[in-house]
Chain A
Amino acid sequence: DVVMTQSPLSLPVTLGQPASISCRSSQSLVHSDGNTYLNWFQQRPGQSPRRLIYKVSNRDSGVPDRFSGSGSGTDFTLKISRVEAEDVGVYYCMQGIHWPFTFGPGTKVDIK
């Protein structure tokens, strides 16, 4: 199975400051169709996860533009330009090219 790793696993942040989460996959996530199937999810406390970013850098509808995704091949990054209180939660990367699809272990973001 493709192993997804994330760092850091815990990320205390100051409101208004930027934050960055790294995700690495054990295999390339580039599909033969040219797309790279790396998604990011946010899970706020007590809620279902929701997708933030698909195919590396595309924001889902309703996702604030302070969230951005980047990367290629096996190395990816989720950035929050200015953290707000509502961003507290766990963030997961996920690969959707090699079955079984797999998630990273999650990065817990909280406020300092």
Chain B
Amino acid sequence: EVQLVESGGGLVQPGGSLRLSCAASGFTFSVYWMSWVRQAPGKGLEWVANIKEDGSEQYYVDSVKGRFTISRDNAENSLYLQMNSLRADDTAVYYCGRDLMDSWGQGTLVTVSS
């Protein structure tokens, strides 16, 4: 069974940083693109970033370019999202997902507020 478990969310002040993690199990992690999608409270879904199987390519939505970095450790079956210079509009539940989101984690809440 595919399992994705996010962690690392929390309350952070504007301008601060957080690193989200996603632990994957139940599938061969190293052969899949992986993604982060977020959902602001009461809002719809927004694709944030994705990363190729070997980590050689990453893509970001414009609103996070230069501030967020997606990475992965295939030896540890883990996906990461380093988030810097956080803003209030980054407040959301962040989901990790496999490929074109055929599997989702339970999400981790990031709140950016002073």
Contact = CB atoms under 8 A, between A and B. Distances in A.
A88 B47 CA distance: 23
Given A48-B106, A49-B45, A100-B47, A39 B62 contact: no
A103 B107 contact: no
Chain A contact patch, size range? 20 to 34
Interface stretch (A11-19, A70-78, A91-99): A91-99
B102 A48 contact: no
Interface string B35-79: 000000000111100100000000111100000000000000000
B44 A50 contact: no
Given A49-B101, A49-B104, A103-B47, 6 more contacts: A41-B45, A51-B101, A54-B100, A92-B44, A94-B45, A106-B44
Interface of A: 37, 39, 41, 48-51, 54, 60, 92, 94, 96, 99-106
